[in-house]
């Protein structure tokens, strides 16, 4: 009981901080009754059935990590106490994963919960929302993830550069043939 109150207080303080500091935006995944009171919105309204970007992003990261560890949807579902169909819906972003389930998934997958939200930026690369989404979608594909893992194991910078050039050339030829 005390732990629940402490978590609730922490969430409320975090929401107040985000609101006061101006760091909260419409894309942020914070649902807070206090925020609703401040903004004058009705929290009892159900969100529309549209899939939201943050749900898709979290789902793709969930899928990517599950595949990286070689865990089946059924295996993860059993460990989480849900059906494999529910895990599919989480991964597609069709259903929003609750904070408690996200904490459980992060524990089972051996990553901190914030790893489902953060996007590390490589050095000397400027990323926008479009490219971040493309990267996340790419890494949620089993073959793409295997390619990325194998590529990361290559020690030679020259070899990695040559492979990247080869793939870019193949992609350019494929685009030329498709057009």
Confidence class for position 53, pLDDT limits 50, 70, 90? confident
In a shared domain, residues 30 and 79: no
Is the residue at 174 inside a domain?
no
In a shared domain, residues 27 and 104: no
In a shared domain, residues 64 and 101: yes
Contacts of residue 135, defined as CB under 8 A and 6 or more positions apart, other chains included, come to 119, 127
In a shared domain, residues 28 and 86: no
Is the residue at 164 inside a domain?
no
For the chain, the domain total comes to 2
The residue-averaged pLDDT of 161-178 equals 81
Is the residue at 149 inside a domain?
no
Is the residue at 79 inside a domain?
yes
- pLDDT in the model for residue 151: 86
Residue 69 pLDDT more than 70?
A: yes
pLDDT in tens, 16-45: 544 444 444 444 444 444 444 444 544 444
In a shared domain, residues 134 and 62: yes
Domain residue limits at 23: 2-39
Of 4, 125, 144, the closest CA to residue 68 belongs to 144
- pLDDT in the model for residue 124: 58
In a shared domain, residues 70 and 121: yes
Confidence class for position 136, pLDDT limits 50, 70, 90? confident
Here the CATH number for the domain that contains residue 117 is 1.10.260.40
Is the residue at 26 inside a domain?
yes
Q: What is the pTM of this model?
A: 0.47
In a shared domain, residues 92 and 122: yes
Residue 149 pLDDT more than 60?
A: yes
H-type alpha helices, the chain: 2-21, 33-39, 53-69, 73-80, 84-92, 99-109, 129-139, 142-152, 157-178
8-state DSSP, 94: S
Is the residue at 75 inside a domain?
yes
In a shared domain, residues 28 and 71: no
Q: How far is CA 37 from CA 16, 27, 34, 40, 65, in A?
A: 12, 19, 5, 5, 37
Is the residue at 44 inside a domain?
no
């Amino acid at each position: 009981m005390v732990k629940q109150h402490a978590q609730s207080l922490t969430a409320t303080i975090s929401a107040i901080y985000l609101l006061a500091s101006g760091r909260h935006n419409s894309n942020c995944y914070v649902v807070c009754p206090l925020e609703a009171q401040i903004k004058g919105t009705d929290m009892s309204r159900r969100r529309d059935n549209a899939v939201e970007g943050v749900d898709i992003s979290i789902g793709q990261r969930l899928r990517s990590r599950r595949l990286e560890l070689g865990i089946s949807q059924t295996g993860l579902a059993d460990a989480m106490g849900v059906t494999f169909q529910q895990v599919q819906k989480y991964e597609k972003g069709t259903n929003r994963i609750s904070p408690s389930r996200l904490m459980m998934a992060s524990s089972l997958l051996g990553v901190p919960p914030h790893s489902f939200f953060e996007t590390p930026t490589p050095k000397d690369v400027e990323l926008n929302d479009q490219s971040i989404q493309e990267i996340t979608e790419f890494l949620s594909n089993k073959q793409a993830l295997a390619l990325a893992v194998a590529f990361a194991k290559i020690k030679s910078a020259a070899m990695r550069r040559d492979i990247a050039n080869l793939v870019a050339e193949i992609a350019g030829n494929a685009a030329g043939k498709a057009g």
